[in-house]
Structure 1
Amino acid sequence: MSVKADIHSQILGGLANATFPIKTPEELLAAFPAGADTKCKSGDCEVTAGEAGKLLKPEDFPFKNAKQIADILVERAGL
């Protein structure tokens, strides 16, 4: 599995129990199991939800599902 696919999968897993829509960055961080400290790791690549959240823009919200969040984050992270 590629780093991109692995991180994407981990984001989906981390948001498996999230309630949608997610309307704010604060709601998004709260949806992750360990909040901003939730880590996704693949090979030498490691990122926390807090770091990944910096890639989002106000106009990205609201999110309707976890796939939408994962797609944007891996794309903007350049994975």
Structure 2
Amino acid sequence: MSAKDEIHAQIVGALKEAKFPIKTPEELMAALPQGAATKCKAGDVEITAGDAGKVLKASDFPFKDARQVADVIVKRAGL
């Protein structure tokens, strides 16, 4: 599994308990187990939710599911 796929899977896993739709960045951070400090790591690649939140735009919301969140973050983070 590539680092991109591993990070994607970790984001989806971190949001497994989240209630969707998620309408704001604040709701997204609150839905993560450790908030903005939640980390995803694969090999040498590490990203925190706080870092990931910097690549999101207001127009990305609402998110309908965890996979959509992971897709946007992985794409915008350049993984």
Correspondence for 2:33: 33
Once residues 73 and 45 of structure 1 are traced to their aligned partners in structure 2, the CA distance between those partners, rounded to angstroms, is: 14
User: Aligned with 2:40: secondary structure?
Assistant: strand
Aligned length: 79
TM-score, normalised on structure 2? 0.99
% same residue: 67
Correspondence for 1:4: 4
In structure 1, the gaps of 5 or more residues are none
* Letter of the structure 1 residue corresponding to residue 5 of structure 2: A
TM-score, normalised on structure 1? 0.99
Correspondence for 1:66: 66
User: Aligned with 2:33: secondary structure?
Assistant: coil
After TM superposition, where is structure 1 displaced by more than 3 Å over at least 4 residues in a row?
none
Once residues 38 and 21 of structure 1 are traced to their aligned partners in structure 2, the CA distance between those partners, rounded to angstroms, is: 20
Once residues 75 and 59 of structure 1 are traced to their aligned partners in structure 2, the CA distance between those partners, rounded to angstroms, is: 15
Residues 9-59 of structure 1: per-residue CA shift (max 9 Å, x gap): 000000000000000000000000000000000001111001100000000
User: Aligned with 1:75: secondary structure?
Assistant: helix
Q: CA RMSD in A?
A: 0.4
Once residues 58 and 30 of structure 1 are traced to their aligned partners in structure 2, the CA distance between those partners, rounded to angstroms, is: 16
In structure 2, the gaps of 5 or more residues are none
Deviation, 1:6, is 0.1
Does residue 1:15 correspond to 2:15, yes or no? Answer: yes
